[in-house]
Amino acid sequence: MDLPTRRRRADRRVAGQRRVSSPGSAARLHSRRRRHRRSSRFALSSRSGASACLSRYGPPRRSQRTRHGDRRRRRDRSAGRRGDPRTTETGRRRFGPRGSRSVRTTDVRIGGRSLDEDAPTYVIAEIGVNHDGRLDRALELVDAAADAGADAVKFQWFEAALLVGDPEAVADYQRRAKITNQHEMLRTLELDREDLARLVDASHRRGLHAVVTVFSEALVPIAADLAWDAWKTASPDLVHRPLLDRLAADGRPMLVSTGASELSEVTRADDWLGTASAAFLHCVSAYPTPESSAALGAIGSIAAATGRPTGYSDHTGEVTTGGLAVAAGAVLLEKHLTWNRNAEGPDHAASLDPAGFAEYVDFVRRARGAIGDGTKRSNPIEADVRRVARQSLRATRSLPSGTRLAAADIAVKRPGDGIEPWRLREILGRELQVPLEPDAPIRDGDLR
């Protein structure tokens, strides 16, 4: 069936569906017919290809061209109102760790140190409960962290009576450490306010920042009296909004661990934190974590989803995982430090001793240096190879002055001291103003 016949049948169908009851309705019907005819033309023409449509009826009207663009703009504006991680408050985009993803331009600083992609990786020595409840041992671990090159040490502030409801709820890794009663275990590992105050002072004297994980909301006002440089929340407390809100209200930077969580739970916590100065830590809550289960790619997922600086809380027993995490985009790391990996207690087996921790930090620094600033450029150490190994345009034979260059006159050979080969077509037909010997490089100064 030809196109005019199709149009006539379409018009008859439209006319049969409506009755004309007045001059006004007749005008409306004709208007509808015209609209229907235009849409029919586009629909029928599309069956034979977009080119036929454009050639017969011209390009789509502006309203049709821009409708989808307007929809995209409305969607983008809506995303911006919800805090699209790709954009900042000023609408500018900024790349995240290693230039692979976007982060907010809001700077997160701990004691003046920026958690930024361009800064050295921030390394936290997690002393946690590896002091076994002894202040003297905690002070020794502070010194070990400083000697190993850490940037900060982290402690835990809890009271077993506030934290434990069911003392017999014990994790498998705690059972392996011969722990049967969580309340009794934690009570023996508590440090009081005076102990923690001494640890803050000792950390600052060694040039380290002091970070603390507070486990109960009731302890926040007491902890806030000490000179902590930052707060941290444990992975299980990603769902503890009252605690997150209380710490965020204090104004000090926050580090939020995300072990045993879904990405949707991380983004929900991100919404709760709002404009708080906060960073996230990817984490796998297994002690120790097999290297094959580290899931370091989640660092990028969290950074992209939240727009915040993102690091890695490392529970593997390896000295190399931190460097791998840096390559995956981590801007900060947390690693457990112990005095003896074979000691009794919940976290020793997933920690590194002072020698291992020093090796860990060294590998992190080397990894960060090897990654560079993320910009691809010719390195000065490559200059000699670049000059010798690249090929350039050279004369195939003796060419007298005045020769108009043809393809047969030009070879592509090493070294790269002549015109680069991508310009071959450009110089065909150009005239030499100097004679050239066989294999001599052809340079711009040789051409008229």
Tens of pLDDT, residues 144-170 = 999 999 999 999 999 999 999 998 898
Return d(Cα 141, Cα 16) in angstroms, integer: 90
Question: How much is the pLDDT for 39?
Answer: 45
Angle CA 195–200–206, to nearest 5: 125
Please, which contacts does 94-98 make with residues 24 or more away whose CB atoms are closer than 8 Å?
95/374, 96/303, 96/304, 96/307, 96/310, 96/329, 97/299, 97/300, 97/303, 97/309, 97/310, 97/329, 97/330, 97/331, 98/327, 98/329, 98/371, 98/374
Q: What is the mean pLDDT of residues 176-188?
A: 88
Q: What is the mean pLDDT of residues 374-379?
A: 94
Return d(Cα 66, Cα 124) in angstroms, integer: 52
Q: Between these two residues, 95 and 295, which has the higher pLDDT value?
A: 295
Among candidate residues 190, 197, 215, the one with its CA nearest the CA of residue 139: 197
User: Kind and range of the H or E element at 175?
Assistant: helix 172-176
Confirm if 314 and 328 have CB atoms less than 8 A apart: no
Return d(Cα 80, Cα 72) in angstroms, integer: 12
Question: How much is the pLDDT for 11?
Answer: 59
What are the C-alpha distances in Å from 31 to residues 4, 35, 191, 199, 431? 19, 6, 83, 83, 69
What the chain holds in terms of domains, given with CATH numbers, is 109-371 (3.20.20.70), 381-446 (3.90.1210.10)
Question: Which phi and psi angles does 409 have, rounded to 5°?
Answer: -85, -10
pLDDT band at 2 (very low <50, low <70, confident <90, very high): low
The three state secondary structure string of 434-447 is CCECCCCECCHHHE
Among candidate residues 315, 313, 251, 239, the one with its CA nearest the CA of residue 277: 251
Amino acid at 200: V
Q: What is the mean pLDDT of residues 203-208?
A: 98
Residue 16 scores a pLDDT above 70: no
Confirm if 121 and 327 have CB atoms less than 8 A apart: no
For 377, other C-beta atoms within 10 Å of its C-beta total 8
Residue given tokens 């440090």 in the structure block: 191
Q: How far apart are the first and last CA of the chain?
A: 65
Tokens of 232: 């941290």
Confirm if 442 and 410 have CB atoms less than 8 A apart: yes
Return d(Cα 104, Cα 86) in angstroms, integer: 8
Confirm if 365 and 121 have CB atoms less than 8 A apart: yes
Instruction: Provide the 3-class DSSP secondary structure of residue 221.
Output: helix
Q: What is the DSSP letter of 273?
A: H
Residue 46 scores a pLDDT above 70: no
DSSP characters for 398-414? -B-TTPBP-GGGEEEES
Question: How much is the pLDDT for 4?
Answer: 58
Return d(Cα 20, Cα 326) in angstroms, integer: 75
User: Could you tell me what percent of the chain has a pLDDT over 70?
Assistant: 76
Question: Which phi and psi angles does 314 have, rounded to 5°?
Answer: -95, 115
Cis omega (within 30 of 0) for bond into 288: yes
Instruction: Provide the 3-class DSSP secondary structure of residue 5.
Output: helix
Q: Which of 26-35, 82-91, 401-410 has the highest mean pLDDT?
A: 401-410
Residue 69 scores a pLDDT above 80: no
Tokens of 254: 């926050």
For 425-445, what is each residue's pLDDT tens digit? 999 999 999 999 999 999 999
Residue 30 scores a pLDDT above 60: no
Q: What is the mean pLDDT of residues 340-356?
A: 95
Residue 41 scores a pLDDT above 60: no
